[in-house]
């Protein structure tokens, strides 16, 4: 099974990102728009994993359950040219980086490989984008809803491939405490 660990986004944030996606769609002549229900903030992509090893991933997630939930915000929209992906950049925070790093260490201690490149938090909005105007012009017409939000659900997802597209099935969730 193909799995990843992500922070779930509050419904209001998904609604706002979907609103921004609709604004992008006005200038698109192609691309695959991520459905609102699939929007998330990936912490670690693990790829194909034996179902018998899920308990070790869950153990790593349990190891960070007492870390405070990060307060985040969308900073801007950007494009990764190499893959023609449009994403919403998420502001870096000490809490987010701490969860990412601690979870990565626990996953590696349990035998999983993690990426060691710089973590760039983002939410993918469009794959294989194609616009009728240059991206820099399109973004001038797309509103960034950047009110701070707390992401307190750390979830292990399975990517389920179907004829209609990919969906993400939650397998295990840890709720992080909100800072007081």
Q: Is residue 86 part of a domain?
A: yes
Closest Cα to residue 141, out of 13, 22, 16, 15? 22
> Domain total for the chain?
1
82 within domain boundaries? yes
**Tokens found for residue 160:** 């389920």
pLDDT band at 83 (very low <50, low <70, confident <90, very high): low
CATH number, domain at 24? 3.90.1140.10
Q: What is the mean pLDDT of residues 88-115?
A: 95
* Average pLDDT score over residue span 82-98: 90
Instruction: Tell me how far apart the alpha carbons of residues 134 and 26 are, in angstroms, rounded to a whole number.
Output: 13
The domain of 80 spans 2-175
Residue 155, in any domain of the structure: yes
Residue 150 lies in a domain: yes
Tokens of 129: 């984008």
Q: Model-level pTM?
A: 0.93
Q: Which residue has the higher pLDDT, 66 or 128?
A: 66
pLDDT (tens digit per residue) in 33-43: 999 999 999 99
Asked if residue 180 belongs to a domain, the reply is: no
Would residue 42 count as lying in a domain?
Answer: yes
For the cut 70, the answer to whether the pLDDT of residue 82 exceeds it is no
How far apart are the C-alpha atoms of 138 and 86, rounded to whole Å?
Answer: 11
Q: Is residue 18 part of a domain?
A: yes
Q: How confident is the model at residue 117 (pLDDT cuts 50, 70, 90)?
A: confident
Burial class, 173, CB count within 10 angstroms (exposed 0-12 / middle 13-18 / buried 19+): middle
């Amino acid at each position: 099974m193909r799995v990843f660990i992500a922070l779930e986004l509050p419904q209001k944030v998904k609604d706002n990102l979907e609103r921004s996606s609709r604004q992008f769609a006005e200038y698109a002549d192609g691309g695959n728009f991520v459905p609102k229900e699939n929007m998330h903030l990936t912490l670690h992509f693990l790829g194909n994993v034996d179902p018998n090893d899920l308990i070790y991933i869950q153990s790593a997630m349990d190891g960070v359950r007492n870390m405070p939930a990060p307060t985040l915000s969308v900073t801007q929209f950007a494009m990764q040219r190499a893959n023609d992906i449009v994403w919403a950049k998420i502001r870096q925070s000490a809490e987010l980086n701490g969860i990412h790093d601690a979870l990565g260490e626990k996953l590696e201690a349990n035998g999983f490989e993690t990426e060691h490149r710089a973590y760039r938090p983002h939410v993918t909005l469009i794959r294989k984008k194609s616009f009728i105007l240059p991206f820099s012009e399109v973004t001038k017409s797309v509103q960034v809803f950047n009110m701070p939000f707390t992401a307190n659900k750390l979830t292990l997802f399975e990517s389920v491939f179907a004829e209609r597209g990919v969906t993400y099935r939650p397998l295990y969730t840890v709720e992080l405490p909100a800072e007081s």
